[in-house]
A = this chain, B = another copy of it.
């Protein structure tokens, strides 16, 4: 399958990917587009030109309408886009609908309904347990029986590029808590998925229902203030340490685009309860990459995640909670076994005690004002062109106080 669009060598945006996003240019209203190579294909224009069946979903400032339409719409749309981009006979009609990504503004791709964050890397949960609860068993007894997760603040999910202002809050001090800007601003590199098709109240979605409900994947940076977190999180979990910003990538990679990247996930012992068993191999051979000011500091492997996306979805709904279009479920920090595979600074620097040395001669225990963090990811399967994700980028601004 090859496209007539020039796709640079090594681009993760070949015709086997076709991630969806929302963009605008020249002061026009935002609309839905698809990334191909270094270009964006305007789906609203394509529909106007009679090349796509329905315009109403695409002349929109969010993907929610299209996502709500369900797989019976997503699949023929994707098939049609592949035809338009591979069949030379469409080239003259389609080319006017392409613009360089560099010339457009990318927006928040969808409106988030509920945001759930998991804790599904055994290595991450073990590292955090060792750091935050030294002297006790790092993994709590429930961890290996269910994908531990919690609700985050949906309103604070922002698109890549949004400035991240250093948050203030309470942290533990020698004579009781002190208030001020966090001194332990951190990142969490994660992969998230977004729900398209809603489910009904009281009707759990089985692991086999993942493809019926989930539209695609994004990268997530779940910015965290570790000193605020350590003081506030018991007994009801993280709150202000996370709710100031969660950044996502601008492009939503369709579930089908990752089909060739499936690998067997780690063996699960003890065997999960029946509702968490999954017939399909839902490990994903995706490697994330975290860089600070252009220096790569970690390459976390998603393939090692203990709890998989279908298990996370089945768990979220097993109590009868229902899905809405726009629900975002994130994996939790992706960490591998090696030091340079850890997905957060608290792990990479062991709570600041082993600062990172950057090639520019500076060191980092946690993030400093002015730092720019970029998370990227690539799905590599032996038989396909690599599938890229849009980068999620954020620069730290000083606290105004």
Q: Which residues of A contact B (CB under 8 A)?
A: 113-114, 116, 119, 129, 132-133, 140, 142, 145-146, 148-156, 165, 167-170, 176-177, 179, 201-202, 204, 225, 228, 231-241, 243-245, 270, 273-275, 315-316, 318-324, 327, 400
In the complex, chain B residues whose CB is within 8 Å of the CB of A155: 113-114, 321-324, 327
Least CB distance, A373 to chain B, in whole angstroms: 17
A17 to B231 Cα, complex, angstroms: 40
Task: Check B142–A231 contact: CB distance below 8 A.
Answer: yes
A234 and B140 in contact (CB under 8 A), knowing A146-B170, A155-B321?
Answer: yes
A148 and B324 in contact (CB under 8 A), knowing A176-B270, A202-B400, A270-B176?
Answer: no
A114 and B321 in contact (CB under 8 A), knowing A148-B232, A233-B235, A238-B236?
Answer: no
Task: Check A177–B273 contact: CB distance below 8 A.
Answer: yes
Residue contacts A-B, CB under 8 angstroms, 27 given: A113-B155, A114-B153, A119-B236, A129-B235, A133-B235, A142-B234, A149-B236, A150-B150, A151-B152, A153-B321, A154-B154, A155-B322, A155-B323, A155-B324, A156-B321, A156-B322, A165-B201, A168-B318, A169-B318, A176-B270, A177-B273, A202-B400, A235-B237, A236-B237, A237-B238, A241-B319, A243-B316
Least CB distance, A351 to chain B, in whole angstroms: 16
The quantity of this chain's copies bound in the complex is 2
A176 and B235 in contact (CB under 8 A), knowing A151-B150, A319-B240?
Answer: no
A235 to B231 Cα, complex, angstroms: 13
A320 to B151 Cα, complex, angstroms: 18
Least CB distance, A73 to chain B, in whole angstroms: 22
A264 to B384 Cα, complex, angstroms: 68
Least CB distance, A146 to chain B, in whole angstroms: 6
A43 to B119 Cα, complex, angstroms: 47
Q: A132-B235, A233-B235 are in contact. List 18 more A-B contacts (CB 8 A).
A: A114-B153, A114-B154, A119-B236, A142-B232, A142-B234, A146-B232, A150-B237, A151-B153, A154-B154, A168-B318, A170-B273, A179-B274, A225-B319, A228-B319, A233-B236, A234-B235, A244-B319, A244-B321
Task: Check B232–A320 contact: CB distance below 8 A.
Answer: no
Considering only CB atoms, which chain B residue lies closest to A177 in the complex? Answer: B145
Looking at A225, A241, A273, which has the most chain B CB atoms within 10 Å of its CB?
A273
Considering only CB atoms, which chain B residue lies closest to A118 in the complex? Answer: B236
Considering only CB atoms, which chain B residue lies closest to A232 in the complex? Answer: B142
A206 to B170 Cα, complex, angstroms: 15
In the complex, chain B residues whose CB is within 8 Å of the CB of A168: 204, 318-320
A113 to B157 Cα, complex, angstroms: 12
A236 and B150 in contact (CB under 8 A), knowing A319-B169, A319-B228?
Answer: yes
In the complex, chain B residues whose CB is within 8 Å of the CB of A241: 319
Considering only CB atoms, which chain B residue lies closest to A315 in the complex? Answer: B240
Task: Check B142–A319 contact: CB distance below 8 A.
Answer: no
Least CB distance, A339 to chain B, in whole angstroms: 23
Considering only CB atoms, which chain B residue lies closest to A132 in the complex? Answer: B235
Leading 6 A-B pairs by shortest Cβ distance: A237-B237, A167-B319, A150-B236, A151-B151, A240-B319, A236-B237
Task: Check A142–B270 contact: CB distance below 8 A.
Answer: no
In the complex, chain B residues whose CB is within 8 Å of the CB of A238: 150, 236-237
Least CB distance, A7 to chain B, in whole angstroms: 36
Task: Check A321–B243 contact: CB distance below 8 A.
Answer: yes
A150 to B140 Cα, complex, angstroms: 20
